[in-house]
């Protein structure tokens, strides 16, 4: 049986061994398609020669269609060699994926130590103590659908703190209980969905709570807004570092000095737009049970010196009055220095106009001046009419994740 060893796809010098990578696909039913076999048969196949794998193709064929000949999913599970998980479904219907037992945390650490600050913190350790605050529908590789005890939510160096799908509905007593759990656990970092993390931070700010053990905050699970980042930086006084990836591919990019750095030992990443915003394509290198080649992960990125800027999901992108692409990142820049917000959502209507829902950091705040400023900025960005309201609740998707921007169907 294959392992999660890097040597299967990487040469000793760190370069990609294409023949070894292609060998991982041998016997897998999905790659028997004529277009794949034609690409593999080239004398010196390159990445650009290979077809793309869409999310719908992955959903239709994973996991059995990607397993090499001689591998059976029941046998792999029975022998305890793999984990089987499902994606959250925020970019479409959920996808089943499999990976080796230790793979998730191995590839996560490889990504994290690309950041020099995190590399120093980790040193020779394989992990650091963390407290996780995210939707209980999707906490890394563990998903909870019922109320669990503290012991049941403690897995190795991880304590899964939050058990509420919508953080805005948490009462003060529940938030106080979460604070006590984090205090007792004394984590080196908080691993947060940015919306959950920011709401927790606002509670801590109201009660002047800090955690002496805390060294940084890691955001993932969905797009990290400047709104959420500013709250957590202000309240906890530690760096907020974004980690980008997916259940299908592992963690691909980690933030350092405002740039997302790739993790070349885990995957090859490409942007379909060489010098501008384009779709991110991913070829995994360390998961032999899912040897993706040029997977359309469903997000926009922009190449920059040494790495990328993440622009958010394709399905969440808007269009301006001239039909030009407007990404979640471009919208989010309008919210810089808006310190009175907790969260927002901008919904674009079929006619191009949009409505902005705002959630105030303080329940009694009418956000009068902020509304006026944002209506102007976003109206200029879209070239269309923007209205705004202050709401008591902004609901997540069925997956539990929040969408900052979205287009309503025609």
Cα-to-chain-centroid distance, residue 327: 16
- Top-level CATH class of 1-311? alpha beta
Q: What is the pTM of this model?
A: 0.92
What span, in angstroms and rounded, lies between the C-alpha atoms of 165 and 395? 9
pLDDT at 162 over 90: no
Residue in the block written with tokens 């106080």: 176
pLDDT at 210 over 90: yes
> What's the CATH number for 317-407?
3.30.300.30
Q: Are 160 and 181 in contact (CB under 8 A)?
A: no
Percent share of the chain, pLDDT over 70: 92
**Per-residue tokens: 113:** 């130590």
What is the rounded radius of gyration, in angstroms, for the C-alpha atoms of the chain? 22
pLDDT band at 215 (very low <50, low <70, confident <90, very high): very high
**Angular region, 168: left φ>0, alpha ψ -120 to 50, beta rest:** alpha
Contacts of 5 (CB under 8 A, 6+ apart): 286
At 9 the pLDDT is 65
Percent share of the chain, pLDDT over 90: 70
β-pair partners for 278: 301
pLDDT at 4 over 60: no
**Angular region, 371: left φ>0, alpha ψ -120 to 50, beta rest:** alpha
* Complete DSSP assignment for 131-175: EEES-TT-BTTB---S---TTTTEETTEEE----S-GGG--HHHH
Q: Are 280 and 270 in contact (CB under 8 A)?
A: yes
Q: Delimit the CATH 3.40.50.12780 region(s) of the chain.
A: 1-311
Centre a 10 Å sphere on the Cβ of residue 23 and count the other Cβ atoms it contains: 16
Cα-to-chain-centroid distance, residue 103: 17
pLDDT band at 14 (very low <50, low <70, confident <90, very high): low
* 326 half-sphere exposure, CB direction, 13 A CA radius: 26
pLDDT digits (tens, 9 = 90+) for 365-408: 999 999 999 999 999 999 999 999 999 999 998 878 899 999 99
pLDDT at 6 over 60: no
The residue ranges of DSSP E strands in 33-163, in sequence order, are: 82-86, 96-100, 130-133, 154-155, 158-160
Q: Delimit the CATH 3.30.300.30 region(s) of the chain.
A: 317-407
DSSP state of 335: G
At 143 the pLDDT is 47
At 387 the pLDDT is 98
* Nearest CA-CA partner of 359 in 317, 402, 327: 402
Q: Which residue has the higher pLDDT, 163 or 100?
A: 100
Residue in the block written with tokens 């059976």: 72
Cα-to-chain-centroid distance, residue 40: 31
Q: Are 345 and 404 in contact (CB under 8 A)?
A: yes
β-pair partners for 358: 344, 390
pLDDT at 142 over 60: no
């Amino acid at each position: 049986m294959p392992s999660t060893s890097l040597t299967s796809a990487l040469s000793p010098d760190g370069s990609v061994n294409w023949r070894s990578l292609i060998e991982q696909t041998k016997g897998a039913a999905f790659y028997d398609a004529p277009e794949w076999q034609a690409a593999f048969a080239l004398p010196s196949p390159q990445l650009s020669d290979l077809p793309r794998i869409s999310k719908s193709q992955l959903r239709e064929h994973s996991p059995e269609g990607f397993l090499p000949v001689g591998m059976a999913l029941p046998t792999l599970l029975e022998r305890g060699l793999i984990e089987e998980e499902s994606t959250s479904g925020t970019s479409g219907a959920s996808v089943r994926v499999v990976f080796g037992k230790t793979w998730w945390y191995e590839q996560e650490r490889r990504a994290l130590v690309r950041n020099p600050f995190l590399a120093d913190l980790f040193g020779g350790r394989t992990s650091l103590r963390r407290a996780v605050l995210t939707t209980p529908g999707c906490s890394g590789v563990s998903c909870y659908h019922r109320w669990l005890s503290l012991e049941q939510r403690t897995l190795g160096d991880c304590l899964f703190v939050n058990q509420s799908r919508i953080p805005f509905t948490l009462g003060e007593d529940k938030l106080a209980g979460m604070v006590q759990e984090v205090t007792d656990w004394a984590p080196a970092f908080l691993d947060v969905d940015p919306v959950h993390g920011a709401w927790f931070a606002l509670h801590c700010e109201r009660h002047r709570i800090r955690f002496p053990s805390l060294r940084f905050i890691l955001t993932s699970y969905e797009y990290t807004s400047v709104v959420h980042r500013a709250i957590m930086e202000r309240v906890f006084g530690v760096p907020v570092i974004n980690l980008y990836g997916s259940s299908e591919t592992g963690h691909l990019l980690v933030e350092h000095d405002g740039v997302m750095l790739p993790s070349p030992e885990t995957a090859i990443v490409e942007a379909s737009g060489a010098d501008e915003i384009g779709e991110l394509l991913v070829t995994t290198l360390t998961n032999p049970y899912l040897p993706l080649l040029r997977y359309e992960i469903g997000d926009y990125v922009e190449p920059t010196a040494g790495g990328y800027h993440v622009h958010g999901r394709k399905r969440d992108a808007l269009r301006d009055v001239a039909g030009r692409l407007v990404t979640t990142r471009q919208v989010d820049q309008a919210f810089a220095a808006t310190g009175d917000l907790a969260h927002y959502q901008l919904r674009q209507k079929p006619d191009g106009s949009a409505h902005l829902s705002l959630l105030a950091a303080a329940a009694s705040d009418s956000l009068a001046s902020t509304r006026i400023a944002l209506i102007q900025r976003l109206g200029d960005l879209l070239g269309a009419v923007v209205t705004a309201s202050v709401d008591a609740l902004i609901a997540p998707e069925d997956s539990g994740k929040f969408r900052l921007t979205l287009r309503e169907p025609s």
